[in-house]
Amino acid sequence: MGFLSKRVDRQLERYQRELIETHYREVENMYRQMRGWRHDYRGHIQAMKALAAAGDMEGLKGYLDQLDTDLNRVDTVLRTGNPMADAILNSKISLAHSRGITVKADAHIPVGLTMSEIDLCCILGNLFDNAIEASMALPEPERLIRVYMEMKGTQLYISFTNFTAGGKLKKTGRLFQSTKGDGHGFGLVRIDKIISRLDGYLSRNSEDGAFTTEILIPQV
């Protein structure tokens, strides 16, 4: 049993490293897009000045509409108050939007948390990846992920809800069955291990075609 436990721990550690590397690549890609837009800022200003000087109000309006569309693609759509949470959530929201998934997010948390950034990255990244995967089984108009984060006293509260195809999910022990294979299973186990180590609380519920995960993590 000791050998098997160590083997699973090694697999979990490897999966965690790969997950964090993936998240940071997604974050870097998002900020690369933002830097590119800022680089073009002066050119946009000059173009709009030229349109205004020529009295071309329709052309100016069309240019502004185009810029507004571009900005919505690269802007950080969520500001939680915590830089790491902002980076992970915004990269995942951008990924979800690119796959036709609507995201409704409301998050307000302190700049400084007692939990590590690695733990926060693993929890939020896994929750979002699982929600995105489940959403892709639905027709595009039905794809929706709800995210809510706030401090409840001295505890960080995290809630993720997504809709699923096929109604209520089947549960095996403490975990719901996965259709994604080992990687998905390791993600769920990794979340459980982190929450347990931090003396937190975790609840998973599948009802009426919606899957919800709720987490409380002490911050004292």
Q: What is the pLDDT of residue 173?
A: 42
Higher model confidence: residue 53 or residue 32?
A: 53
The reported pLDDT for the residue numbered 182 is 43
CA–CA dist 151, 153 (Å, integer): 6
Other C-beta atoms within 10 Å of 147: how many? Answer: 24
The interaxial angle of helices 117-135 and 2-39, nearest 10 deg, is 80
β-strand partners of 108: 150
pLDDT of residue 180 exceeding 50: no
Of 2.60.40.2580, 3.30.565.10, 3.40.30.10, 3.90.1150.10, the CATH number of 78-218 is 3.30.565.10
- Average pLDDT value for residue range 94-111: 88
Q: For the chain, what percent of residues have pLDDT higher than 90? A: 27
pLDDT at 172: 40
Find out whether 192 and 176 touch, Cβ atoms under 8 Å: no
What is the arithmetic mean of pLDDT over 81-100?
84
**Percent of the chain predicted with pLDDT > 70:** 68
Q: Residues 47, 49, 55, 56: is their CA dihedral positive or negative? A: positive
DSSP conformation class of 212: E
- For helices 182-197 and 117-135, angle between their N-to-C axes, nearest 10 degrees: 140
Structure tokens at 61: 């309006």
Residue 101 CB-density burial (10 A; 0-12 exposed, 13-18 middle, 19+ buried): buried
* Domain edges within the chain: 78-218
Amino acid at 215: I
Report whether pLDDT(175) > 60: no
User: What's the chain's average pLDDT?
Assistant: 78
Higher per-residue confidence, 86 vs 34 = 86
Mean pLDDT of the region 115-124: 86
